[in-house]
Amino acid sequence: MNIHEYQAKELFKKYNVPTLRGHIAFTPDEAVKAAQELGGNIWVVKAQIHAGGRGLGGGVKLAKSTSEVREMAAQILGMQLVTHQTGPEGKLVQKVYIEEGADIKKEYYLGLLLDRALKMPIMMASTEGGMAIEEVAHNTPEKIIKVSIDPLTGFQSFHGRKLAFGLGLPVEEINTFIKFASALYKVYMDHDAEMIEINPLVKTGDGKFLALDAKMGFDNNALYRQSQVNEMRDLSEEEPTEIEAGKFGLSYIKLDGDVGCMVNGAGLAMGTMDTINYEGGKPANFLDVGGSASAETVAKGFEIILKDPNVKAIFVNIFGGIVRCDRVANGIIEATKITNVNVPVIVRLDGTNAIEAAEILNNAGIANIVAATDLADGARKAVAAAKGE
């Protein structure tokens, strides 16, 4: 789960990670009011969406008067902001963050994330603030300094020193930086974050460090104990069908092809998409129905897949392990009674009781259900059906 910049900064403030003052606004009027409350003569109007690259897309603007604040807020609010992370359709901006201006002397990058191989958090810093860290890693990897932090002992001053000296900070600024980094580590651990990115981290004219931007993502498995983070969840930033699927224990992601798929297990679900692609088709979705594949979940799966008007055929690929294929076959038949399935359904059931399952499906005599013998056969038939062959 991700949160907005202004929400991440709220968490930062509680842990004394320095940020600028700012207010959230849903209308141009509120934006002006926010600017007046902040005072000063320069403000930044920032679109709040769950995607990076907002500045380049025209979602972050500098205002030098309250009338400019109004003008820019009016421009940004309601726009479909397109960045390299939103896809071509962009994301609707529903709120802007009005922030006071800052005296920026230098920009850096600071991030915290999990190193899966080391099984511990790593903190990364770079002098190349404001640039996409992936690009820096690719073009000038020597400009990224990394420290791994043993969770059993936590963040130590030497971690901070290594980063600070690596960034070439003067000695008198080292302790300020260590304090900042140490507080940030605490934010990360205390909230079950999976990633924090501050890009840019800025140094001001008076030698202070500030999080000018803030991006945070969280471990979904830990949300049950993070009530504060949970309250920050913005459902309007998520796909409605994915939310709906989640309520039924289904894991669904919409894609742009025309062959719907329903599979048990995440790995096999991805593998099924890949097989459809290999056979010359395009998957319309990722859908893991989980272990049980009962009539109810299968019916819900059909319903969710068919909400996508592009779907021309559905490939049901179930490898029955503990779950018996005959029960799944009955589930599919039941499901077609609950949900009106008006496209060809190619069914491949393998594993426990697969032979009985094939019989059940054949005997049911449902016109648009086609049996497949294995993964490749199923994918081929589904691709052909989607093409109207």
Partner 1 sequence: MSILVNKDTKVIVQGFTGKEGTFHAEQCIAYGTKIVGGVTPGKGGQEHLGQPVFNTVEEAVRATGATVSMIFVPPAFVSDAVMEAADAGISLAVIITEGAPVKDMMFAKAYAVKKDMMTIGPNCPGIITADECKIGIMPGFIFKKGNIGLISKSGTLTYESANQVVKEGFGITTAVGIGGDPIIGLSYKQLLPMFEADPETHAIVMIGEIGGDLEIQAAAYIKEHITKPVVAFIAGQTAPAGKRMGHAGAIISGGAGTAAEKMAALEAAGVKVVVSPADIGKAIAEVMGKLKK
Q: Which residues bind partner 1 (CB under 8 A)?
A: 85, 114, 116-117, 119-121, 132-134, 137, 150-152, 189, 192, 194, 219-222, 224-225, 251, 253, 255, 263-279, 282-283, 286, 288, 319-322, 350-352, 374-376, 379
Q: Closer to partner 1 by CB, 182 or 272: give it.
A: 272
- Residue 378: beta bridge partners? none
Whose structure tokens read 């030497």?
A: 158
Q: How far is the CB of 174 from partner 1 (least distance, A)?
A: 28
Are the CB atoms for 221 and 194 separated by under 8 Å? Answer: no
Q: How far is the CB of 389 from partner 1 (least distance, A)?
A: 19
**Catalytic residue among 97, 197, 252, 303, which?**
197
Classified as helix, coil or strand, 20 is: coil
**Catalytic residue among 108, 109, 185, 252, which?**
109
Amino acid symbol at 260: G
Q: Closer to partner 1 by CB, 20 or 223: give it.
A: 223
DSSP states along 76-123: HTT-EE--TTT-TT-EE---EEEEE---EEEEEEEEEEEETTTTEEEE
Return d(Cα 389, Cα 382) in angstroms, integer.
10
Q: How far is the CB of 333 from partner 1 (least distance, A)?
A: 22
Q: How far is the CB of 366 from partner 1 (least distance, A)?
A: 25
Q: Closer to partner 1 by CB, 210 or 269: give it.
A: 269
Return d(Cα 127, Cα 278) in angstroms, integer.
43
Neighbours of 224 (CB within 10 A): 9
The alpha carbon of 325 is separated from its chain's Cα centroid by a whole number of angstroms, namely: 34
Q: Closer to partner 1 by CB, 75 or 352: give it.
A: 352
Q: Closer to partner 1 by CB, 30 or 192: give it.
A: 192
Q: Is 224 a catalytic residue?
A: no
Q: Closer to partner 1 by CB, 269 or 299: give it.
A: 269
Amino acid symbol at 235: L
Q: How far is the CB of 57 from partner 1 (least distance, A)?
A: 16
Tokens of 196: 């924090």
Return d(Cα 315, Cα 311) in angstroms, integer.
11
Q: Is 356 a catalytic residue?
A: no
| Peptide bond between residue 344 and the one before it cis (omega within 30 degrees of 0) | no
Query: Among 76, 46, 79, which residue's Cα sits nearest to residue 213?
Result: 46
Indicate which residues carry an active-site annotation: 109, 197
